[in-house]
Chain A
């Protein structure tokens, strides 16, 4: 590995639009881990909304757009298990009938990682001296868990955050009901799933619910806010970087 690997941050569309603080936290963590971070311009989205809606042509067109921009880097890192899963697992599948692009996609896919697993597994990062007095619980987002095997890595880094007590849910690996467009296509089922998830989280006695995927976090935070739950919801990168100036997701930004 190069002394100072060049990392392209794949910021993800949801972080870009809803929660830029997660992107800034990711940059901070990557730089602290000795990486040179850049954000290549033509990136918009990994293509999941089209891919999971069955629109192969659009998915492929989007991929052809960002692949050349990401190729020059040693690594591509995304603060999301599902976007990283899209890049790492599904990108090569898109080009089964185009050998030249398939080779490029395959080569790139092998260098794509989810943020926390990259920090722990690839660069051996030990964590920043972060501090947070809180009792927290961690939701294992499905794509990160089952496509990329992310389970121990966030827990390892969270264990290094001074003052943070991590308590496990009864069923941290059960889906929160987000599922991309699933949550608006099947709102009744999705709501039941997120209610079960929040009940599990609340039963731990934690006041902070963490995860590594903004889609799941928006879903859980949005439902928690609607129910008047006392759970604060945050992306794990914000806690690991000690970047807590932004109020928790769906919490008021101004007093008033």
Chain B
């Protein structure tokens, strides 16, 4: 997927005028934001749990090679096949090869952000496969020909009416009125697909090194049907998802649901270890796992290492005033909100996405609620530094900054220049106390008045006071 992040501002401005999106985002705020607050308050050890989550992730990242090798061994012993993919293209090629070998025509898929990251659906479809999303939100987004607008709720930007209209167009029949009817309709259609599919593709929330298990979390049970019914189960995930033990996975699971939706635990959590044994009647005959690097191993040794702690809960976006104003699609790529503003430049290139890390007031709420305490503002600032080094911001911003810096580094000249400017502005603004319009301040005065300065700087007043006291 080509990023369109450079038009973030324009897309966000349009989103602000979209009443459907406004309703949806308000619901997100009142639902999941308050849900997290309630869940965190109800658990006395929540802060200690966050510390434990950080410790697990930091430990794994310090010994990533070790745990990946242990995991690979256990996963293989359990009967699975591991494929290492250096980048998106390799991962796509491996996935296609697995589907072809399985003689697949139809592939079912439960929600996987890594599959979105590598653009898997479009690639498989271009190669003649029919790909069916089974997470309800993803299914809706797929029917609409859109991309997810939220990490946890891909279709949070849609209303029931819109979904009813989509379903009627794709499934036939009159548009349904009730949510329950829509869910039942999707379930009926998806049940047929589960049975038709030769390959089921899932992501993984965690990989457990000590057992070689993959862990999936859903609220719909669609991952279980996706991985259990077709002959071949293909898992695609990033290398940072490995944890040492089952207990570690549970620590992170307790954080994940509470931070994401305010649930104590998600509806369905499955630990899956290998394909069906020879004497078992149910389950896939073959199980493959694609472990994607795509820049992650380079992050381990670099300044963005802390970002690899992310467990994809979406709390940062649920609490981000910029995300809640702009909506997910304004971000222009797969990952959205504060975590997206850090990850997208990494995966899609800073040249095409440098605007994202600038779209933050650094209010710090994302870091405040992040279950694994990722310093998101600090990481966004690091990208701004890189963008500044590469001269990516437009000349007007760079020259403005340079002019200010020139003065700020020369206090005597700064005092003189500001004294004159402030005296002038003070005089001009004396009567109204504010300016509705001012040269060079259009960005401010488009929607705000500029409060007029008093006309005398503090440093002048202070000098006068010192003279009087002397």
Contacts of B325 in A (CB 8 A): 189, 192-193
Are B430 and A54 in touch, CB under 8 angstroms? no
Interface pick from B39-47, B175-183, B380-388: B380-388
B20 at the interface (CB under 8 A from A): no
Per-residue CB proximity of A214-256 to B under 8 Å, as 1/0? 0000110111011000000000000000000011011111101
Closest Cβ of chain A: how far from B42's Cβ, in Å? 20
Closest Cβ of chain B: how far from A242's Cβ, in Å? 18
Are A223 and B447 in touch, CB under 8 angstroms? yes
Closest Cβ of chain B: how far from A45's Cβ, in Å? 5
A117 at the interface (CB under 8 A from B): no
Q: What separation, in Å, do the CA atoms of A181 and B384 have in the docked complex?
A: 13
Contacts of A250 in B (CB 8 A): 433-434, 449, 451-452
Partner of A193, one of B321, B385, B429: B321
Interface pick from B81-89, B277-285, B339-347, B403-411: B403-411
Per-residue CB proximity of B387-410 to A under 8 Å, as 1/0? 111000100010001001101110
Are A20 and B456 in touch, CB under 8 angstroms? yes
Q: How many residues of A contact B (CB 8 A)?
A: 71
The answer to whether residues A189 and B462 also contact, given A54-B381, A54-B386 and a CB cut-off of 8 A, is: no
**From A12, which residue of chain B is reached at the shortest CB distance?**
B458
The answer to whether residues A18 and B451 also contact, given A45-B408, A189-B16, A192-B16 and a CB cut-off of 8 A, is: yes
Q: What separation, in Å, do the CA atoms of A147 and B322 have in the docked complex?
A: 19
Contacts of A20 in B (CB 8 A): 454, 456-458, 460-461
Are B364 and A142 in touch, CB under 8 angstroms? yes
Contacts of A145 in B (CB 8 A): 364
Are B9 and A15 in touch, CB under 8 angstroms? no
Contacts of A178 in B (CB 8 A): 361
Are A17 and B405 in touch, CB under 8 angstroms? no
Per-residue CB proximity of B430-470 to A under 8 Å, as 1/0? 11111010000001101111111110111111100000000
B365 at the interface (CB under 8 A from A): yes
Are B361 and A177 in touch, CB under 8 angstroms? yes
Given A16-B459, A182-B360, A253-B452, 8 new contacts (CB under 8 A) = A18-B453, A21-B454, A55-B388, A146-B367, A174-B363, A182-B361, A187-B444, A222-B449
Interface residues of B (CB under 8 A from A): 9, 12-13, 16, 321-322, 325-326, 358-365, 367-368, 381, 383-389, 393, 397, 401, 404-405, 407-409, 411, 414, 418, 422, 429-434, 436, 443-444, 446-454, 456-462
A-B residue pairs in contact (CB < 8 Å), sample of 15: A15-B458, A16-B458, A17-B418, A20-B454, A20-B456, A24-B461, A54-B383, A56-B388, A146-B367, A188-B9, A222-B451, A223-B449, A225-B433, A226-B449, A251-B433
